[in-house]
Structure 1
Amino acid sequence: LGHFEGNFKSMSITCIASDTSGRFGNQVDQLLGVMQFARNLDRTLVLPNFIEYEYPKTTMVPFESIFEVSYMKKYVKVIRMSIGPVGVWMKQSAKSRPSLCPTKHGWMPPHRRSDKDCLALCWSPRKSLYDESAPVGCQAKEGNPFGPYWDKIGVSFAHDAYFGDLPGGYDLTKPGSKAAWLERYLKWTSRIMEKALQFIKQELPRPFIGIHLRNHNDWDRVCDHVPSKSSTQPLFASMQCDGEEFYDGQLTKEICSPSASTVVEQVVDMVGRIGARSVFVASDKDHMIETINEALRPYEVKAHRLNPDDALVSLAILGQADHFIGNCVSTFSHLVKRERTNSKPSRPTSYFGIRGQRRQMEL
Structure 2
Amino acid sequence: MFLLIQLLSIIAHDSKAFEIDPNGYILYCPCMGRFGNQAEHFLGSLAFAKAVDRTLALPHWVAFHFGVIVPSKTPFDRFFLVPPLMQYHRVILMSDFMEHIAPTVWPSHRRIGFCYGTENGNVSECKMKQGEPSTSFWDNFGISFVGSEFFTAKGLSVSGGDHHRGSTWKHVYPPDKYPVLAFRGAPADFPIRKEHEPLQRYLRWSVDVREQANDFISKELGGRPFLGIHLRNNVDWPNVCKDLTPRWHIFDSRQCLGENFEHSVMTTEICSPSEDTILRQVRETMLRTGLRVLFVASEVDHMIGKFSSKLKDLSGEVLIKGREPDDPQVSLCILAKASLYIGNCLSTFSTFARRERDVYGLPTEFWAMNYTSNPLKNEL
1:327 to 336, 341, 344: 344
Distance, in Å, in 2 between the alignment partners of 1:83 and 1:170 is: 28
For 1:219, the aligned partner's letter is: W
Please list the CA deviations of residues 226-252 of structure 1 after superposition, one character each: whole Å capped at 9, or x if unmatched. 14xxx22221111222449x9634111
Secondary structure of the corresponding residue to residue 56 of structure 2: strand
Deviation (angstroms), 1:141 = 2.3
For 2:148, the aligned partner's letter is: H
1:151 corresponds to which residue? Answer: 139
Please list the CA deviations of residues 249-306 of structure 1 after superposition, one character each: whole Å capped at 9, or x if unmatched. 4111110100011101110111111111210000121111111111110123132100
Deviation (angstroms), 1:307 = 1.3
Distance, in Å, in 1 between the alignment partners of 2:214 and 2:369 is: 29
2:326 to 290, 309, 313: 309
What is the correspondence of 1:187-336 to structure 2 with a 5 Å cutoff?
187-205=204-222, 206-227=224-245, 231-243=246-258, 248-299=263-314, 300-336=317-353
Q: Which one is further off, 332-341 or 300-309?
A: 300-309
Q: Is the 8 A contact 1:17 1:31 kept in 2?
A: no
Distance, in Å, in 2 between the alignment partners of 1:56 and 1:71 is: 36
Q: Quickly say closer, same or farther: Cα 1:135–1:187, change in 2 above 3 A.
A: same
1:94 corresponds to which residue? Answer: none
Unaligned regions of 5+ residues in structure 1, if any? 87-99, 359-363
Deviation (angstroms), 1:166 = 4.9
| Length-normalised TM-score, structure 1 | 0.79
1:108 corresponds to which residue? Answer: 106
Secondary structure of the corresponding residue to residue 369 of structure 2: coil
1:184 to 173, 197, 201: 201
Identity of aligned residues (%): 36
2:94 corresponds to which residue? Answer: 81
For 1:80, the aligned partner's letter is: L
Paired residues, number: 319
Deviation (angstroms), 1:182 = 0.8
Q: Quickly say closer, same or farther: Cα 1:322–1:356, change in 2 above 3 A.
A: closer
Secondary structure of the corresponding residue to residue 237 of structure 1: coil
1:71 corresponds to which residue? Answer: 84
For 2:365, the aligned partner's letter is: S
Distance, in Å, in 2 between the alignment partners of 1:306 and 1:337 is: 20
Secondary structure of the corresponding residue to residue 214 of structure 1: coil
RMSD over aligned Cα atoms:
3.2
| Length-normalised TM-score, structure 2 | 0.75
Q: Quickly say closer, same or farther: Cα 1:171–1:248, change in 2 above 3 A.
A: farther
Q: Is 1:125 matched with 2:117? A: yes
Secondary structure of the corresponding residue to residue 217 of structure 1: coil
Q: Quickly say closer, same or farther: Cα 1:253–1:5, change in 2 above 3 A.
A: farther
Q: Which one is further off, 330-339 or 136-145?
A: 136-145
For 2:291, the aligned partner's letter is: A
For 1:193, the aligned partner's letter is: R
1:19 corresponds to which residue? Answer: 30
Q: Quickly say closer, same or farther: Cα 1:252–1:8, change in 2 above 3 A.
A: same
Deviation (angstroms), 1:170 = 7.5
Distance, in Å, in 2 between the alignment partners of 1:148 and 1:181 is: 32
Deviation (angstroms), 1:220 = 1.2
1:350 corresponds to which residue? Answer: 365
1:10 to 11, 18, 21: 21
